[in-house]
Amino acid sequence: MRLPSKSDLVRLSRDRGAILKTALAVVAVAHLLGLAVSLMPKGKGDPHGVFSFGFVPRDVPGLVDFVRFGGGGGGGGSCEELSPELARDALAELVETALEALPGGDEAEAVRLWWRAIAADDGSGADAAARLGALPETTRRRDEFLADLSYLAGDADSARDLYVAEARRFPAAVYARRSALFLARYEGDREGLASLLEDPSFRSALSPLEDIHYSAAVPDHVGLAFATVRYQFVLLASSSLLPALFTAAIWFLILLSFQGRARAFLPAALGAFALGIVAAALAFYAGAVQETVRGFRAGEGDPEWKQFLYLLAGVSLREEVAKLLCFLPLALLLARRGTPLEALLLAGFVGLGFAFQENLVYFRGGGAGNLAWTRLLTANPLHFSLTGVAGLALWKVLHRRGRGWEDFLLVFLVVVFAHTVYNSVLTIPSLEEYAPLHPILVAVIAYQYFDPLRQHMEVAGLHRRLSPFGIFVVGSTLLTCTVLVSASFVLPFRFAAGAFATSLGAMIPLAFAFLSRFRDL
């Protein structure tokens, strides 16, 4: 079977009947696949086998984590998550059995004494702790266990010293390093925390996101910058990459279709998209400085005016400044010979790159799911529209060699305010009743971008370019149907289909608002 050529794709993207048939076919296939997937046998019970089968790890590291973190997998935890309640519930007997099965040696004896000190309710805990302390200093986990007992007794200073001692002796003592860092930060000891972070073995015990918070608490601006870069690469390597790329690719192709010389313009568009990713890292860095170093933050319990001020002078301002800073090199290149269309598109691609990187955070935190469809229609156009409008104003100032700067300032302030209003109706509890209006806000903002884009677009050869209408309909259908099939892996089909229909219905008015901008293109 011959694959469709570029000219075939262009023709089909402008054929409303072909677009509708394609969308319906994709939906039908997705429902059949979803039904088939939902009927596949799924595993039952607790995935770790802890509560269904009474399983307790038999090796020392697994058993220690099991006790420390209440039966869950501790992984990279610290003393902050210590949960001694396991010693008093029905699993205690299983732990005792596992302890008896441990091999001989000082480390196994240390585990047993540590457990007895935690579980004791008859006054024998002190004796077990004393016997633990009498073990040789070279015993793995001895100081770490003593630190746990000190921390549970409320002696954080002694606990930190013991965690540090364990970490200095044993390269594998990741939990001890993380616990020492946590206690230094918890106690507000910036000098002590900075000293620990100077040791690469302590810093490497942290995830990049944790490193950001700890570096900001010192504050260590250089370490914070490196941790921010590391975190961006972790996001790019995560499983959220595919849905984030999918949502970005739909808008990327739509914006590119407004440029008559798409192939020649593609490298510049990709470069602008990459600058948007850089802008997201800059905004993330600025957020850590503002909120952790400077203490400029607001919570749900704060007055509404303070929450709005935080969203205005914090979130919205830093994000729009970061995006414009990354667009500035492109604006300078376009200042002499560029056109309004190029400025609008490249600024929009910067905003789209920013939204792509931001989506990685959201998808990683809560799974892509229905978020992919929602953010396709809200966050993505919000960011590229705001950046496009502000970017065009910036380009005009540079093109006119500084004249009209006050117009740019006014546009920029309006952009920041519009971003703040959007964030406010979604995050401030007292404005929750207005949250259903956020799609209207997105549509109004997007129109301010697409209207001048339509005005300046190259109409010559329009029929030889992919239709934004076709890209939007087919791309949205593929995205939502992928979400349906994915949900069917974990949910009964009726629930997956119900969630699919609900999320689809909630965003249909906004989808039609975009289609109205594309229907004659």
3-state secondary structure of 69: strand
The pLDDT tens digits of the residues spanning 336-377 come to 888 999 999 999 999 999 999 999 988 886 555 667 878 888
Residue 159 in contact with residue 147, Cβ under 8 Å?
yes
Whether residues 350 and 270 share a domain: the answer is yes
Comparing 458 with 236, the larger pLDDT belongs to 236
CA 109 to chain centre: 43
User: What is the spatial distance between Cα 301 and Cα 303, in angstroms, rounded to a whole number?
Assistant: 7
- At residue 89, the pLDDT reads 61
Task: Identify whether 223 is part of a domain.
Answer: no
Q: How confident is the model at residue 482 (pLDDT cuts 50, 70, 90)?
A: confident
Q: What gap in Å lies between CA 64 and CA 71, rounded to an integer?
A: 10
Express each pLDDT in 185-224 by its tens digit: 988 889 999 999 999 999 999 999 999 999 999 988 999 9
Q: At what angle do helices 340-366 and 221-236 cross, to 10 degrees?
A: 80
DSSP one-letter string for 428-473: -GGGGGGGGGHHHHHHHHHHHHHHHHHHHS--TTGGGS--HHHHHH
Task: Say what the pLDDT of residue 483 is.
Answer: 79
Is the model's pLDDT at 73 over the cut of 60? Answer: no
**Domain co-membership, 401 together with 443:** yes
Mean pLDDT, to the nearest integer, of 230-253? 91
Considering the domain architecture, whether residues 65 and 200 belong to the same structural domain is answered as: yes
Query: What pLDDT was estimated at residue 322?
Result: 96
Cα–Cα distance for residue pair 297/378, rounded to 1 Å: 24
Residue 176 has pLDDT above 90, yes or no: yes
In Å, the largest CA–CA distance within the chain is 88
Same domain, 429 and 465: yes
From 373-377, 418-422, 444-448, 449-453, the region with the lowest mean pLDDT? 373-377
Res. 517 pLDDT band, cuts 50 70 90 = confident
Please check the confidence at residue 47 and state whether its pLDDT lies above 50: no
Is 40 within a domain? Answer: no
Q: Is residue 118 part of a domain?
A: yes
Mark whether 195 and 287 lie in a shared domain. no
109-129 as b/e: b if 16+ CB within 10 A: bbbbbbbbbbbeeeeebeebb
User: Residue 174's domain is classified under what CATH number?
Assistant: 1.25.40
Q: What is the value of pTM for the model shown?
A: 0.85
Per-residue pLDDT for 90 more than 80? no
Do 26 and 159 have their domain in common? no
Q: DSSP code of 59?
A: S
3-class DSSP state for residue 368? coil
Instruction: In whole angstroms, give the CA distance from residue 487 to residue 249.
Output: 22
Kindly state whether residues 306 and 455 are assigned to the same domain: yes
With respect to residue 294, please indicate whether it lies within any of the assigned structural domains.
yes
Beta bridge partners of 83: 69
Which pLDDT value is given to residue 48? 39
DSSP class of residue 240? T
> Kind and range of the H or E element at 480?
helix 468-488
Q: Do 171 and 279 belong together in one domain?
A: no
Q: Do residues 361 and 439 share a domain? A: yes
State which of 76-85, 340-349, 500-509 shows the largest mean pLDDT: 340-349
Give the pLDDT of residue 95: 78
- Note whether residue 71 is domain-resident: yes
The reported pLDDT for the residue numbered 462 is: 67
The whole-number average pLDDT for the span 33-46 is 68
What 3-state class would DSSP assign to 507? helix
- Report the C-alpha gap between 403 and 310 in whole angstroms: 32
Lowest mean pLDDT among 27-31, 148-152, 457-461: 457-461
Predicted pLDDT at 123: 58
Structural tokens at position 348: 């929009």
Does the pLDDT value for residue 391 go beyond 90?
Answer: yes
**Does the residue 217 lie in any domain?**
no
Q: What phi-psi label fits residue 207: left (phi over 0), alpha (psi between -120 and 50 degrees) or beta?
A: beta
Mean pLDDT computed over 464-471? 82
Examine the pLDDT at 122 and tell me if it is beyond 60: no
Phi then psi dihedrals of residue 69, to 5 deg: -110, 30
Question: Over 80: is that where the pLDDT of 6 sits?
Answer: no
Report how many domains make up the chain.
2
- Pair 326, 368 in one domain: yes
Of 513, 351, 354, 356, the C-alpha closest to 442 is 513
Q: Which long-range contacts (CB under 8 A, 24 or more apart) does 220-228 make?
A: 220/194, 221/289, 223/197, 224/285, 224/288, 224/289, 225/285, 228/281, 228/284, 228/285, 228/288
The answer to whether 162 touches 143, Cβ cutoff 8 Å, is yes
Residues 373 and 293 in one domain: yes
The domain boundary, picked from 156, 188, 206, lies at 206
Domain that holds residue 266: 7-35+241-518
The 3-state DSSP class for residue 83 equals strand
Average pLDDT value for the chain: 84
Does residue 269 register a pLDDT over 70?
yes
Among 304-318, 432-446, 483-497, the least confident range: 483-497
Lowest mean pLDDT segment, chosen from 187-201, 253-267, 453-467 = 453-467
Is 221 a domain residue? no
**Burial (0-12, 13-18, 19+ Cβ within 10 Å), 217:** buried
Q: Is residue 214 part of a domain?
A: no
Which is more confident, 83 or 112?
112
**In this predicted model, which residue has the larger pLDDT, 320 or 506?**
320
Residue 52: per-residue pLDDT: 34
Q: Helices (H), strands (E): how many in the chain?
A: 25, 0
**pLDDT at 45 (0 to 100):** 44
d(CA 257, CA 273): 16
Q: Are both 196 and 283 inside the same structural domain? A: no
With beta carbons less than 8 A apart as the criterion, state whether 159 and 165 touch. no
d(CA 455, CA 496): 42
508 alpha carbon, distance to own chain's centre: 25
**Residue 243, token pair as written in the block:** 């849905």
Which phi and psi angles does 368 have, rounded to 5°? -65, -60
Taking residues 393-408, report their average pLDDT.
90
Average pLDDT (314-337) is 93
What is the average pLDDT across 8-15? Answer: 71
